[in-house]
Amino acid sequence: MKSEAEYSSHGIAVSPGIAIGPAYIIGQHGVPVPEYDIPASQIDRELKRLHTAIAKTQKQLGQLKQKAATLPAGAEDVALLLEAHQGMLSSSRLVHGVEELIRVNRLNAEAAIQRQIATIKASFAAMGDPYLAARADDVSEVGTRLIRHLLQQHYNPFDAVSDGSIIVAEEITPADMALMDPKNVAGFITVLGGAEGHAAIMARALGLPSVSGLPDIMQQAQVGDMIIIDGRKGDVILRPSAETLHYYRQELTKKQREDKKLWALRETPAITADGTPITLCANIELARDLDAAIEAGATGIGLLRTEFMFMNRPDLPSEEEQYDLLRKLVHRLDGRPLTVRTLDVGGEKLATALGQVIGESANPALGLRAIRLGLKEPKLLETQLSAILRASTHGPVRILIPMVSSVAQMKQVREHLVQVERRLHRRGIKFSGLPPVGAMIEIPAAALAADALARVCDFFAIGSNDLTQYTLAIDRGDERVAELYDPFHPAVLRLIQFTAAAAWRANIPVSLCGEIAGDRFATALLLGLGLRELSMAALRIPAVKQEIRDLAMPQAVAFAEAVLGQSDEATIRGLLHRGVGTSDELAKEKRKKDK
Ligand code: PEP
Ligand code: MG
């Protein structure tokens, strides 16, 4: 029976803001299924297709179960449900029925599954038992998973999302984010996912409130339920009472008023109160984000994550296709620099066409990914470099290499670049000079070797997201350890300071493009640590600019010193929230103690 009662849940605050809207539950909207007859000679092949899909679904459910099992309250129910779903895939009425439909009726596997689901549902419904009716939904869910694997193509689960919906899903991937039209979405709530994964970054970039780590949300939410997300605190309310709704509507209006005030700053220069100019760039994950970046007053793109070009497709993009896209971005930027990061797949970021090459790894975050993959698959890297070089003839472009851990890797990249340039030269494409080539500093080894790397790099971009992950050995996308993930851990801050200092010594530019660049509470600290360029989600630029304009550099330096003098993250967070004034208080306290 449909519940009417208000229901609250608390999870991980992934993307701030308040959203109010009707639920759109992923997985409860059908997949279009083709139906055709198969010849007798193809029956074995069709059965094999079915069993491959069953194996993949089993594996997917196993992974979900493993993740869900250690979530807080309510997790056992989810784990049990997923286990029941796994049970439906072995020697069950669903599987036997489908096999028979393939063998006897010579139906393709997808259509056979759909027909068998309908048969089971009809027989359960005839018994008039509410428990069995719920099991029929489970059969349907498992069947839909199987069909998706069989189709092996990304269908767009967001096609039917209507204006202002709140997406409710087990998990949202970066590829899903690329498929949806953000204009129709008000926010997301999910069972799985941490605050630092790429889908989370994309939600923040779009300014869409989001909460994850909600184990029972798929069971509690019903299609069309009104939902409130408070992404600042990680709260979610289903079917709110009139009183609750009134409170959040007021909060939403307040927030919109504040945002409007900040937005007025977008044309104002980012200069500290004592006259130090700071460069504020935007990170973009999808080509469609560029307009928002320009509107928010970004002076360039500090990080273009090129992974989107490889998502939601079975093949690799050609050089021409990549060039075409980059050229359009360069033109649209109209003289503002574009920093193109070479492909950073592997780890949590996947591209279908590279699945075979990357393969399985016990530790994907430590495995074949980013530039390691590029150097192993030179054609992949050179195709991309060629497209970037060609785009650089239309405006200022910088090349950024992800996951660099050694000087040798940068030297190898430069050798590939020279090869590519020569080849382009032979094709009659000429350059006035090669674009600057820089390294992402996101592995502790790279930060500690920053002096040596600075000799082979034209610039650095500090990736504090991965730098935190690898320094603290915390999987950034795993909600179970999300509370241990802290970019303000003193060890991470020291590596940032060390990198910035090495860049200054070598006289090369250094920026920071991890998520903390867009955290206004971190602005004074980052400036005090030596950064003069920050790249962030476009929507964060005005608030960070406001901080910069209220700040004098000596204050920022003293504040960073005070922060680095602390030994634990909790005290550091406290200082960041109390603001730069605290460094004076601390200095006074210290003087008192010293007397
Ligand atoms: C980072 O690691 O901080 C970064 C900016 O790159 P990504 O988040 O894409 O890994
Ligand atoms: Mg990174």
Q: Is 442 in the pocket of ligand 1 (CB under 6 A)?
A: yes
Pairing of strands 12-15, 210-212: antiparallel
Instruction: Write a three-state SS string for 259-301.
Output: HHHHHHHHHCCCECCCCCECEEEEEECCHHHHHHHHHCCCCCE
Residue 9 has pLDDT above 90, yes or no: yes
Q: For residue 333, what pLDDT is reported?
A: 97
Residue 427 has pLDDT above 70, yes or no: yes
Comparing 218 with 271, the larger pLDDT belongs to: 271
Work out the average pLDDT over 345-357.
Answer: 68
By CB atoms closer than 10 A (0-12, 13-18, 19+), residue 287 is middle
**Which of 28-42, 176-190, 211-225, 461-475 ranks highest by mean pLDDT?**
461-475
Q: Is 471 in the pocket of ligand 1 (CB under 6 A)?
A: no
Q: Could you tell me the distance, in angstroms and rounded to a whole number, from the CA of residue 183 to the centre of ligand 2?
A: 27
Q: How far is CA 102 from the centre of its chain?
A: 40
| Contact between residue 55 and residue 89 where contact means Cβ atoms under 8 Å apart | no
Ligand in closest contact with the CA of 349: 1
**Sequence-separated (6 or more) residues with CB below 8 Å from residue 297:** 265, 266, 267, 268, 280, 541, 542, 545
Work out the average pLDDT over 225-248.
Answer: 96
Residue 495 has pLDDT above 70, yes or no: yes
Comparing 217 with 498, the larger pLDDT belongs to: 498
Looking at the domain covering 40-150, what would its CATH class be? mainly alpha
The tokens describing 270, both together, are 């980012």
CA distances 232 to 11, 195, 204, 283, 478, Å, are 11, 12, 12, 22, 19
Q: What is the pLDDT of residues 297-348, one digit of tens each?
A: 999 999 999 999 988 777 899 999 999 999 999 999 999 999 999 999 876 5
Q: Could you tell me the distance, in angstroms and rounded to a whole number, from the CA of residue 519 to the centre of ligand 1?
A: 15
**CATH 3.20.20.60 boundaries in the chain:** 275-567
Q: Is 463 in the pocket of ligand 1 (CB under 6 A)?
A: yes
CA distances 62 to 55, 67, 113, 541, Å, are 10, 9, 21, 41
Q: Is 207 in the pocket of ligand 1 (CB under 6 A)?
A: no
Comparing 197 with 331, the larger pLDDT belongs to: 331
Q: In whole angstroms, give the CA distance from residue 146 to residue 94.
A: 11
Nearest to 579 by CA among 534, 536, 520, 514: 520
What SS3 class is residue 172?
coil
Q: For residue 446, what pLDDT is reported?
A: 98
Nearest to 530 by CA among 575, 569, 496: 496
Would you place residue 583 in the very low, low, confident or very high pLDDT band (cuts 50, 70, 90)? low
Q: Would residue 513 show up in a list of annotated catalytic residues for this protein?
A: yes
Element (H, E) at 123: helix 109-127
Q: What is the pLDDT of residues 55-86, one digit of tens each?
A: 988 887 887 777 666 555 555 666 777 788 88
Nearest to 379 by CA among 353, 361, 400, 359: 353
Q: Give one DSSP letter per residue of 326-361, joined into a string.
A: HHHHHHHHTTS-EEEEPP--BTTB--GGGHHHH---
Q: What is the pLDDT of residues 259-311, one digit of tens each?
A: 899 888 888 999 999 999 999 999 999 888 899 999 999 999 999 999 999 88
| Contact between residue 471 and residue 495 where contact means Cβ atoms under 8 Å apart | yes
Q: Would residue 457 show up in a list of annotated catalytic residues for this protein?
A: no
Q: In whole angstroms, give the CA distance from residue 70 to residue 169.
A: 18
Q: Is 409 in the pocket of ligand 1 (CB under 6 A)?
A: no
Q: How many residues does the chain have?
A: 595
Work out the average pLDDT over 229-234.
Answer: 95
Nearest to 394 by CA among 344, 448, 458, 326: 326
Q: Is 513 in the pocket of ligand 1 (CB under 6 A)?
A: yes
Work out the average pLDDT over 189-204.
Answer: 84
Looking at the domain covering 275-567, what would its CATH class be? alpha beta
Type of residue at 415: E
Q: For residue 128, what pLDDT is reported?
A: 73
Q: For residue 267, what pLDDT is reported?
A: 87
**Sequence-separated (6 or more) residues with CB below 8 Å from residue 585:** none
Q: For residue 352, what pLDDT is reported?
A: 64
**Sequence-separated (6 or more) residues with CB below 8 Å from residue 333:** 290, 294, 300, 301, 395
- For residue 303, the ligand 1 atom closest to its alpha carbon is 5
Nearest to 491 by CA among 528, 444, 525: 444
Residue 520 has pLDDT above 60, yes or no: yes
Rounded to two decimals, the pTM is 0.78
| Contact between residue 201 and residue 285 where contact means Cβ atoms under 8 Å apart | yes
Q: What percent of the chain has pLDDT above 90? A: 60
Long-range contacts of 224-227 (CB under 8 A, 24+ apart): 224/22, 224/23, 225/22, 225/23, 226/20, 226/21, 226/22, 226/23, 227/19, 227/20, 227/21, 227/22, 227/23, 227/166, 227/168, 227/189
User: CATH classification of 7-28+157-261 is 3.40.50.1980, yes or no?
Assistant: no
**Sequence-separated (6 or more) residues with CB below 8 Å from residue 449:** 406, 407
Q: For residue 582, what pLDDT is reported?
A: 66
**Sequence-separated (6 or more) residues with CB below 8 Å from residue 227:** 19, 20, 21, 22, 23, 166, 168, 189, 221, 236, 237, 238
Q: Which protein residue has the closest C-alpha to ligand 1 atom 9?
A: 305
Residue 433 has pLDDT above 60, yes or no: yes
Q: Which protein residue has the closest C-alpha to ligand 1 atom 10?
A: 466
Q: Could you tell me the distance, in angstroms and rounded to a whole number, from the CA of residue 79 to the centre of ligand 1?
A: 31
Q: For residue 37, what pLDDT is reported?
A: 86
Would you place residue 351 in the very low, low, confident or very high pLDDT band (cuts 50, 70, 90)? low
* DSSP state, residue 37: B
Q: What is the pLDDT of residues 120-150, one digit of tens each?
A: 888 887 877 777 766 777 888 788 888 888 8
Work out the average pLDDT over 524-545.
Answer: 96
**CATH 1.10.274.10 boundaries in the chain:** 40-150
Q: Is 210 in the pocket of ligand 1 (CB under 6 A)?
A: no
Q: What percent of the chain has pLDDT above 70? A: 91
**Helix, strand, coil percentages for the chain (3-state, nearest 5):** 55, 15, 30
Q: For residue 121, what pLDDT is reported?
A: 83
Neighbours of 85 (CB within 10 A): 20
Q: Tokens 């009472």 label which residue?
A: 241
Q: For residue 490, what pLDDT is reported?
A: 96
**Helices (DSSP H) in 152-241: which residue ranges?**
174-179, 198-206, 217-220
Q: For residue 522, what pLDDT is reported?
A: 97
**CATH 3.50.30.10 boundaries in the chain:** 7-28+157-261
Q: Tokens 């409710």 label which residue?
A: 168
**Nearest-10 Cα torsion for 324, 330, 333, 338:** 120
> Mean pLDDT for the chain?
89
Q: Could you tell me the distance, in angstroms and rounded to a whole number, from the CA of residue 155 to the centre of ligand 2?
A: 28
Q: Which protein residue has the closest C-alpha to ligand 1 atom 8?
A: 465
Q: Is 307 in the pocket of ligand 1 (CB under 6 A)?
A: no
Q: Which residues pair with 18 in a beta bridge?
A: 230
Q: For residue 588, what pLDDT is reported?
A: 64
Q: Tokens 């289903």 label which residue?
A: 238
Q: Could you tell me the distance, in angstroms and rounded to a whole number, from the CA of residue 293 to the centre of ligand 2?
A: 20
Q: Which protein residue has the closest C-alpha to ligand 1 atom 6?
A: 463
Q: What is the pLDDT of residues 204-217, one digit of tens each?
A: 888 899 999 898 89
Q: For residue 124, what pLDDT is reported?
A: 81
Nearest to 50 by CA among 120, 113, 118, 139: 113
Q: Tokens 């070598």 label which residue?
A: 506
Element (H, E) at 493: helix 490-506
**Which of 24-28, 29-33, 200-204, 272-276 ranks highest by mean pLDDT?**
272-276
> Which of 198, 281, 457, 489 is an active site residue?
198
Work out the average pLDDT over 397-426.
Answer: 97
Residue 518 has pLDDT above 70, yes or no: yes
